Amino acid sequence: MKDIFEAPFIVRMRKVTQNMYRLGWDERNGGNISCILDEDEIKEYLDLNNVIRTIPMGFEAKDLIGKIFIVTGTGKYFQNVGFDPEDNLGIIRIAKDGTTAELLWGFKDGGKFTSELPAHLMTHSVRLKKDPRHHVVMHCHPSYTLAMNYCVELDEKIFTHKLWETCTECMVVFPDGVGVLPWMLCGTNEIGEATAKKMEEFRLVIWGLHGIYGTGNDMDEAFGLIETVEKAAQLYMISAHLPRINTITDDQLREIAKGFNVKYREDFLN
């Protein structure tokens, strides 16, 4: 077997978690990531017949049976993933009963996956139906995006439009807009179900007064979606108290969409 610590999927997780911590998106043990691993990608690094232990998931994910994920652990700090990935990350496979996770690697201290795993797996299930290339779900607490939650109505059209009109790239990067949920208790199946429902329309979902969920075909896409929202939110927040002399108009947003040949939520324009 090859050295798993040199595996691309471990290296990617180490780098992205360190970057998210550095940016202040994942304070303490806040935030979580899960990524679908292709069997061909990991069989050179792991014996897939060796199940270390099984962990109840607390819900049923029958359409994901056999899928393998690398996922951050509950109570784990993103700042620690870089130097001790085996303690802070785990590789799990959804067991044949659909309600149990088989631990194939990681969580060496006896820990387990993030408490948000139900929300992640529900979202994976929905996004895979939308795009079979989908691989990543990423949750974090970016500061300016959160700040907007307190001064912009938690309405999908209003919130999306504020972002679109603030930064030219937004219409190109997320023309499908941003879904928004009201405040809900995290770590529950209820918020997972609500998030998954929104993911039928959006690749980004804001958890009101909490954080954001981003998805993608790979780490770069999921990270880039959140990064673009956060940049626009930052621009909005540092200028919101000043007179608005210039803005990107709806006609200009339409021109951007036409120029980049993107299908956008026309009902989100005024």
Q: Give the CATH number of the domain where residue 258 resides.
A: 3.40.225.10
Q: How far apart are CA 127 and CA 42, in angstroms?
A: 22
Q: 23 pLDDT band (50/70/90 cuts)? A: very high
Active site residues: 116
124 and 53, same domain (yes or no) = no
Per-residue model confidence (pLDDT) at position 58: 86
Number of domains in the chain: 2
pLDDT digits (tens, 9 = 90+) for 112-141: 999 999 999 999 999 999 999 999 999 999
Among 96, 114, 132, the domain-final residue is: 114
Q: Tokens 């989100």 identify what position? A: 268
Q: Is residue 95 over pLDDT 90?
A: yes
Q: Is residue 1 over pLDDT 90?
A: no
107 and 164, same domain (yes or no) = no
Per-residue model confidence (pLDDT) at position 214: 98
pLDDT digits (tens, 9 = 90+) for 140-152: 999 999 999 999 9
Identify whether the C-beta of residue 169 lies closer than 8 Å to the C-beta of residue 257.
no
90 and 142, same domain (yes or no) = no
Mean pLDDT taken over the chain: 97
Residue environment code for 72-101, b if the CB has 16+ CB neighbours within 10 A, otherwise e:
bbbebbbbbbeeebebbbbbbbbbeeeeeb
Q: Is residue 83 over pLDDT 90?
A: yes
83 and 136, same domain (yes or no) = no
80 and 130, same domain (yes or no) = no
Collect all residues with Cβ–Cβ distance below 8 Å to 193 and sequence separation of at least 6.
Answer: 122
Q: Is residue 59 over pLDDT 90?
A: no
Residue 234 φ/ψ region, left for φ over 0, alpha for ψ in the -120 to 50 degree band, beta for the rest? alpha
Q: 226 pLDDT band (50/70/90 cuts)? A: very high
Q: 56 pLDDT band (50/70/90 cuts)? A: very high
Q: 182 pLDDT band (50/70/90 cuts)? A: very high
Residue environment code for 121-154, b if the CB has 16+ CB neighbours within 10 A, otherwise e:
bbbbbbbbeeeeebbbbbbbbbebbbbbbeebeb
Collect all residues with Cβ–Cβ distance below 8 Å to 4 and sequence separation of at least 6.
Answer: 10, 45, 46, 105
Instruction: Sort strands 89-94 and 179-181 into parallel, antiparallel or unpaired.
Output: unpaired
Domain span at residue 11 reads 1-114
Per-residue model confidence (pLDDT) at position 69: 98
Which pTM does this prediction carry? 0.96
Average pLDDT for 62-77 = 97
Cα dihedral 75, 78, 79, 80 in deg (nearest 10): 60
Per-residue model confidence (pLDDT) at position 25: 97
Q: How far apart are CA 175 and CA 160, in angstroms?
A: 9
Q: How far apart are CA 79 and CA 81, in angstroms?
A: 6
The tokens for 104 are 């194939």
Residue 105 CB neighbour total at 10 angstroms: 21
57 and 175, same domain (yes or no) = no
85 and 147, same domain (yes or no) = no
